[in-house]
Amino acid sequence: MKAPTQCALWKDPEMTRNQPLKAQFEEVKMLLRDDHLSRRLLRCRECGQLYFYEFYEEIDWDEGKDPQYQTYIPVPTSEAAEQLMRLSVFEIAAYDGPSLRSDFPKTAKKPRIYWAHRESAHHDETMPGDNDE
């Protein structure tokens, strides 16, 4: 699968800050729902790109400023998303393919939204799952 260059989020990741999740994505499948961790398979309403989505929240027992992290990993199929389900929160955070991130540590005033490993997509236009048949 090619990097999601056709997706509006590739050009403007800040869209995730400015619009609610439901406005941008169709939920294809809820993969995991917990108080501080959820994972979903989402489809971009604009271009149809599938994304493995993870929301992870750490508990700040001292100040109540719970750090929150969101990750959108473009996937070619629902099966590829199921493979990502096997990974821990820490393995998702260390994922080395293109992924849209929203990091909101407790010391920040607003989340930092960016594409991680975007440059790897420019050098290698394939994504995980391309050769999985």
Domain housing 59 = 8-123
DSSP 90: H
Residue 2: inside a domain, yes or no? no
Write down the pLDDT at residue 62: 79
Give percent of the chain with pLDDT exceeding 90: 48
User: Which has the higher per-residue pLDDT, 131 or 91?
Assistant: 91
Position 99 in a domain: yes
Number of helices (H) and strands (E) in the chain: give both, helices first: 6, 6
Question: Is 60 exceeded by the pLDDT of residue 128?
Answer: no
Question: Which amino acid belongs to residue 59?
Answer: I
pLDDT digits (tens, 9 = 90+) for 39-75: 999 999 999 999 999 999 887 777 777 888 999 999 9
Question: pTM score, two decimals?
Answer: 0.81
Q: What is the pLDDT of residue 119?
A: 65
Q: How many domains does the chain have?
A: 1
